[in-house]
Structure 1
């Protein structure tokens, strides 16, 4: 079904208010989820709400706590999310990073003691809106099996990069695994067979059944006890011959810049004791290197050359950001898509908290 984005936003803001978040924080949290749904990234949209609700109930997330700036220099800042939502701390940190980049040309921020922070691209676009180039990284629960391994250790570890261009910015936002774990949740809810080499079992055999895949990821990501084995594969797929070690390398880079740099948990240890993700945020002012409009024009020209390459019949050559901004335009006109299972979840939360649920359009 489809619902109006404005109705989804109102519902979410009301739910977050009922859950104890401040008005400002609730507005931000709702915005990150609606933003994901508008851009067709349903894995990080309203379907995450039931998970957030569970983490609030078990005390993993404490809505009344506020992130704190622990340390800062002219070009860097360290933020403690203080057990609140990752979106709140990451937004604060990126605002600080933007201020620093505007003053000294570059800014780096690290967030510790954090949680899920939505889509990484949200924060890269924060920098873009300020006329900067932006990068955002996060580690996650242990979902990914390294090359030739049979147990999950690495996170899906999202990486987002935004650079000014026309008619929209270049916007890469993706996991360093073959897919984000949320895509498995969405496939399970829809009962859709997994289309590619996304998940493997304990023998590194590719799993197509979404329920089996979700069970594998659940035991990897939420259990401190013995794992069944298996998990998401890295970029490059299941076999080393396809250079999946490069995807593993990308994921390890994110681990180093998040969990290690924040002195928090690496993905493999987020299920042991305290639950803490870490984020890395970076922005720089391209004006130092040349006229911003010239850089934007040159980037646009390169991207258009890629779009114009000869291509397979019936297909289209596109660059990161194209699909996202196409979905954004369509969703603003036609509403955002919500699968039946997620609608059942938000209906139950609405009933529990006495909040009116968005209606299908």
Structure 2
């Protein structure tokens, strides 16, 4: 069975879990908003299914509630922040608010962030900057006790899914946001919880051979994810590790990190109007979008889309019809709520 949850009451439920777990109201609201937005935009890998992992991190002392980022370096257009291992969503919200102010003053902001617990869907932050007319580029590294992505030509995991994100503002905004692996680890978790296989080419087993079985990422002997686009995706993952990790002074893979999940992040935020007339650029962007979307669809039911469009379509559909949550994930979230003395709300369900 799949639960179909209305976004608003689901947000209230998730918020109540974090509040009961020790987060102040503002922090609980920001985490819940971010997770629900991920589900709404179709990225269930970064949605409410992360709650059990966050509660595990809290139990083990790997995340510290109610932290704020501290600026530890930089001046002028540059700023270096330490997230003090707080929940990633409110930490990055605060850092991006600072980046926005810096960009308004200097035309561009270059920020780095280290020591933040899982920051979630990077496109969430870029999308909000874009809504304020700001272009942004983000490189993120992730460090876990055990890495998950194998190098191109390698046979065992060495890095994590290290996302890259670019947002371009306009009347038709563009949002590129992807993991550098062929599939996000959270999407493998969703398939594992549903008892489904993943598409070919996404995973390898412990011997380095291709597999479609998601359990290789969660049961011993462990396998690995592959980088998308062979050497090209692997190169992006490597660069994200260096810029989001080393440039930020953040933990990196292969250096003995054992305390849950940590993200490092490098962001470039700029005012496009400092480079080109905003009206002219918006019209040029619209012409490019119209040109590529005019390509006849190979499948009439699957028209050409531009980056960010799938998320907008998903948000409209799920905002109207509800957010689907598989039974295993729903039970795991409910167990977290019950452990905190909370009830579990009733939502409709449909057969799988």
Class of the TM-score when normalised by the shorter of the 2 chains: over 0.9
- Residue in 2 that maps onto 1:360: 347
- Residue in 2 that maps onto 1:225: none
* Structure 1 Cα separation of the partners of residues 258 and 59 of structure 2: 18
* Structure 2 Cα separation of the partners of residues 47 and 270 of structure 1: 27
CA contact (8 A) 2:197 2:212 kept: yes
SS at match of 2:218: helix
SS at match of 1:317: coil
- Residue in 2 that maps onto 1:277: 263
Match of 1:266 among 252, 264, 281: 252
Matched, 1:207 2:211: yes
Measured at CA, do residues 104 and 187 of structure 1 come closer, stay the same or move farther in structure 2, by a change above 3 Å? Answer: same
CA contact (8 A) 1:159 1:173 kept: yes
* Structure 2 Cα separation of the partners of residues 270 and 49 of structure 1: 25
* Structure 1 Cα separation of the partners of residues 277 and 222 of structure 2: 52
- Residue in 1 that maps onto 2:228: 235
Measured at CA, do residues 270 and 99 of structure 1 come closer, stay the same or move farther in structure 2, by a change above 3 Å? Answer: farther
Aligned Cα root-mean-square deviation (Å):
1.7
> Quick check: which one's strand share is greater?
2
Q: Per-residue CA shift, 1:8-51, capped at 9, x if unaligned?
A: 11011111111111111111111110110110100000000000
CA contact (8 A) 1:159 1:176 kept: yes
* Structure 2 Cα separation of the partners of residues 330 and 268 of structure 1: 41
* Structure 2 Cα separation of the partners of residues 268 and 180 of structure 1: 20
SS at match of 1:110: strand
Once the 2 structures are TM-superposed, how far is the Cα of residue 316 of structure 1 from its aligned partner? 2.2
- The unaligned stretches of length 5 or more in structure 2 are none
Measured at CA, do residues 358 and 323 of structure 1 come closer, stay the same or move farther in structure 2, by a change above 3 Å? Answer: farther
Q: Per-residue CA shift, 1:308-327, capped at 9, x if unaligned?
A: 11331344221211111000
SS at match of 2:155: coil
SS at match of 2:23: coil
Once the 2 structures are TM-superposed, how far is the Cα of residue 273 of structure 1 from its aligned partner? 6.0
Once the 2 structures are TM-superposed, how far is the Cα of residue 213 of structure 1 from its aligned partner? 3.8
Match of 2:330 among 332, 340, 343: 343
Once the 2 structures are TM-superposed, how far is the Cα of residue 206 of structure 1 from its aligned partner? 1.1
SS at match of 1:145: coil
Moved more, 182-191 or 13-22: 13-22
Measured at CA, do residues 275 and 8 of structure 1 come closer, stay the same or move farther in structure 2, by a change above 3 Å? Answer: closer
- The unaligned stretches of length 5 or more in structure 1 are 217-227, 237-243
SS at match of 2:111: strand
CA contact (8 A) 2:11 2:36 kept: yes
CA contact (8 A) 1:150 1:229 kept: no
